[in-house]
């Protein structure tokens, strides 16, 4: 295991992912974690970046005993400065914050040919991503320079005798093209981690863990949405405890076209999961009537979801209790609630909080447990999305579902910019399904991280035959993103856009104009609301 100590950098989770991608288990913990409180023995430690400066009054610092463990430590950006701060180096403010690409020259050490183990095989120079306001002005004693840039003479350091390393740049981001290899060098060659973290191993262990937790009797209920996470979680539960798991899908009226039927077909018929679909669209749409404010929409949908889910759960509980009383072949009472929580959510809740602000509330079912007296089971809480996808493939979940773009809990309600009505939902569902269909036909779906249509609450003038029209506008969005924290808009071939636009304006009543959103995140967000 690699322990990643998080000092609040927005990239910390990426470091964890890079290790996992090399089949090395890595766990992220807040930088304030005390080594004596960790219940495993890491083979190496990575110190993340941070929005702080090491000399700030409230700057976070690592438990100094990490330096006595004798295991390899790699400091990234602030992590490097933290090593210097602890071991007697000097850090100063740069005149200008450095943000962007830089070339790092790898220093020759010892003989002509040799470079430090961290850079072995990575060439003489590398393009890297920098994002820092401070930099090292004096390395700590007993360290030597293993890489430098034009502006940073101490861009990479290593200790003369101990396995301690520090780098000023960010190898974890995709803007450092060979950064992944550098992290691999650290965890494999230097830390000598075993590459035994695979989904094949995970399935077996997790199924027996679920069986141990759930015991011989007792049922589990859980919500499914048709998305990857809840489907994989449901299938895993089904594999572990069969019909003692009961899935509930709530049709909130703001799903994509035919979504509820499709989920039913797939989960129930193809995967054999015990599923109830509840059509609560009237209730949701009536509560959403006249509401435009996005956070208000999210709140209404979240709360209504809880009401409907609890009602359905109560029915399942009542039926289970009846069966229990009747005795024969009873599967026990409902005791557990399944949640498809992923590791990024866990990280979000445990990570060291620098000065950050909530832009949007994304919690969809967070309130479920408050009223229900159920215990929580979260089989995916150690996994990143790409790991969940790999797991889904192993569980024979159909490829189109495994590769599916994310879909927000509040659904089309946050893609209809004005008030949500059944009529507006129908228009958007129709336009969205044409958009996605054409993307799939052009074989572009897997190159895009998320694509969807947005219905604007404005009317524009158009012409059809000899008639003037006055109708609504559809905006198309497609982005590529690693983790949705940042995103770039997708460059479509013009003919694909032309076909999509022509089909939407011809086939969707109420739309006479289509635009393509060319904003990146930041400063825009992925969704329009």
Q: Based on CB atoms, which residue is closest to ligand XMP, 71 or 414?
A: 414
**Computed from CA positions of residues 292, 295, 296, 299, in that sequence, does the dihedral angle turn out positive or negative?**
positive
Q: Based on CB atoms, which residue is closest to ligand XMP, 484 or 516?
A: 484
Piece of the chain touching ligand XMP by CB under 6 A; list 94-102, 197-205, 280-288, 402-410: 402-410
Q: Is 360 in the site for ligand XMP (CB under 6 A)?
A: yes
End-to-end CA distance of the chain: 39
- CA 248/CA 391 separation, integer angstroms: 22
Q: Please count the residues of this chain forming the interface with ligand XMP, following the rule CB under 6 A.
A: 14
Torsion of CA 139, 140, 143, 144, to 10 degrees: 20
- CA 259/CA 251 separation, integer angstroms: 9
Residue 255's SS3 state is: coil
State the number of CA atoms in the 13 A half-sphere of 188 facing the CB: 17
Q: Based on CB atoms, which residue is closest to ligand XMP, 43 or 297?
A: 297
Which residues ranging from 6 to 25 are in contact with ligand XMP (CB under 6 A)?
Answer: none
Given candidates 332, 406, 418, 510, which one binds ligand XMP under the rule CB under 6 A?
406
- State the minimum distance, in angstroms, from the CB of residue 415 to ligand XMP: 9
Instruction: Classify the phi-psi angles of 103: left when phi > 0, otherwise alpha if psi is within -120 to 50, otherwise beta.
Output: beta
Q: Based on CB atoms, which residue is closest to ligand XMP, 171 or 409?
A: 409
Piece of the chain touching ligand XMP by CB under 6 A; list 20-28, 254-262, 408-416, 502-510: 408-416
Piece of the chain touching ligand XMP by CB under 6 A; list 35-43, 143-151, 170-178, 403-411: 403-411
Cα 406 to Cα 84, 162, 449, 520, 528: the distances in Å are 41, 44, 8, 18, 15
Q: Based on CB atoms, which residue is closest to ligand XMP, 27 or 527?
A: 527
Given candidates 274, 450, 472, 501, which one binds ligand XMP under the rule CB under 6 A?
450
- CA 394/CA 400 separation, integer angstroms: 14
Q: Is 362 in the site for ligand XMP (CB under 6 A)?
A: yes
Active site residues: 77, 170, 172
- State the minimum distance, in angstroms, from the CB of residue 308 to ligand XMP: 17
Q: Is 419 in the site for ligand XMP (CB under 6 A)?
A: no
Given candidates 84, 119, 408, 435, which one binds ligand XMP under the rule CB under 6 A?
408
Piece of the chain touching ligand XMP by CB under 6 A; list 55-63, 331-339, 422-430, 520-528: 520-528
Q: Is 259 in the site for ligand XMP (CB under 6 A)?
A: no
Query: Is residue 313 within 8 Å of 219, Cβ to Cβ?
Result: no
Q: Is 471 in the site for ligand XMP (CB under 6 A)?
A: no
- State the minimum distance, in angstroms, from the CB of residue 301 to ligand XMP: 8
Q: Based on CB atoms, which residue is closest to ligand XMP, 361 or 502?
A: 361
Let me know the angle formed at the C-alpha of 201 by 199 and 205, rounded to the nearest 5 degrees.
110
Measured from the Cβ of residue 513, the count of other Cβ atoms closer than 10 Å reads 19
Q: 513 pairs with which residues across the strands?
A: 473
Given candidates 23, 433, 484, 516, which one binds ligand XMP under the rule CB under 6 A?
484
Given candidates 281, 364, 486, 519, which one binds ligand XMP under the rule CB under 6 A?
364
- Which residues line the annotated binding site for ATP? 225-231
Piece of the chain touching ligand XMP by CB under 6 A; list 30-38, 269-277, 336-344, 518-526: 518-526
- Mention every residue, 6+ apart, whose C-beta is less than 8 A from residue 450: 405, 406, 477, 478, 479, 481, 484, 487, 526
- Mention every residue, 6+ apart, whose C-beta is less than 8 A from residue 122: 106, 115, 178, 181, 182, 185
- 354 DSSP assignment: -
Q: Based on CB atoms, which residue is closest to ligand XMP, 1 or 252?
A: 252
Torsion of CA 231, 236, 239, 244, to 10 degrees: -80
- CA 366/CA 344 separation, integer angstroms: 15
Site mask for ligand XMP (CB under 6 A), range 281-300, x = bound: -----------------x--
The footprint of ligand XMP (CB under 6 A) covers 298, 360, 362, 364, 406, 408-410, 450, 484, 521, 525-527
């Amino acid at each position: 295991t690699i322990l990643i100590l998080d000092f609040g950098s927005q990239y910390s989770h990426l470091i964890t992912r890079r290790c996992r991608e090399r089949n090395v288990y890595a766990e992220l913990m807040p930088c304030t974690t005390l080594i004596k409180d960790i219940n495993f023995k890491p083979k190496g430690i990575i110190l993340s970046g941070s929005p702080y400066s090491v000399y700030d009054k409230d700057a976070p610092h690592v438990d100094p005993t990490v330096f006595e463990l004798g295991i390899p430590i790699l400091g990234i950006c602030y992590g490097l400065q933290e090593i210097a701060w602890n071991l007697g180096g000097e850090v100063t403010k740069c005149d200008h914050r450095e943000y962007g690409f830089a070339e790092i020259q790898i220093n020759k050490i010892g003989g002509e040919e040799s470079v430090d183990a961290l850079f072995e095989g990575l060439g003489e120079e590398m393009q890297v991503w920098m994002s820092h306001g401070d930099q090292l002005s004096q390395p700590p004693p007993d360290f030597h320079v293993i890489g430098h840039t034009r502006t940073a003479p101490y861009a990479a350091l290593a200790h003369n005798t101990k396995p301690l390393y520090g780098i000023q740049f960010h190898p974890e981001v995709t803007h450092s093209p060979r950064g992944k290899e550098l992290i691999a060098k650290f965890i494999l060659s230097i830390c000598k981690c075993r590459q035994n973290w695979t989904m094949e191993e995970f399935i077996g262990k997790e199924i027996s863990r679920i069986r141990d937790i759930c015991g011989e009797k007792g049922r589990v209920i859980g919500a499914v949405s048709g998305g990857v996470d809840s489907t994989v979680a449901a299938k895993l539960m089904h594999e572990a405890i069969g019909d003692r798991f009961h899935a509930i899908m709530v049709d909130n009226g703001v799903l994509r076209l035919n979504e509820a039927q499709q989920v039913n077909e797939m989960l129930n018929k193809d995967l054999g999961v015990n599923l109830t679909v509840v059509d609560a669209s009237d209730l949701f749409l009536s509560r959403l009537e006249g509401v435009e404010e996005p956070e208000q929409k999210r709140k209404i949908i979240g709360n209504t979801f809880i009401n409907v889910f609890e009602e359905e759960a109560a029915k399942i509980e009542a039926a289970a209790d009846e069966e229990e009383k009747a005795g024969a072949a009873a599967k026990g009472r409902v005791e557990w609630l399944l949640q498809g929580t992923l590791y990024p959510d866990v990280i979000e809740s445990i990570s060291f909080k620098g000065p950050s602000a909530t832009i949007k509330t994304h919690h969809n079912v967070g309130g479920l447990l408050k009223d229900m007296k159920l215990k929580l089971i979260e089989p995916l809480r150690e996994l990143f999305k790409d790991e969940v996808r790999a797991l889904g493939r192993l569980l024979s979940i159909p490829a189109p579902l495994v590769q599916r773009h994310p879909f927000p809990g509040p659904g089309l309600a946050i893609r209809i910019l004005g008030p949500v009505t059944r009529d507006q939902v129908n228009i958007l569902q129709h336009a969205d399904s044409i958009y996605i269909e054409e993307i799939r036909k052009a074989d572009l779906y897997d190159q895009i991280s998320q694509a969807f249509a947005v219905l604007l609450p404005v009317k524009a003038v158009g012409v059809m035959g000899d008639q003037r029209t006055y109708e609504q506008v559809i905006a198309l969005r497609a982005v590529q993103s690693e983790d949705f924290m940042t995103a770039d808009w997708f460059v479509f071939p013009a003919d694909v856009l032309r076909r999509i636009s022509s089909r939407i304006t011809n086939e969707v009543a109420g739309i006479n104009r289509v635009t393509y959103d060319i904003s990146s995140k930041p400063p825009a967000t992925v969704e329009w609301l």
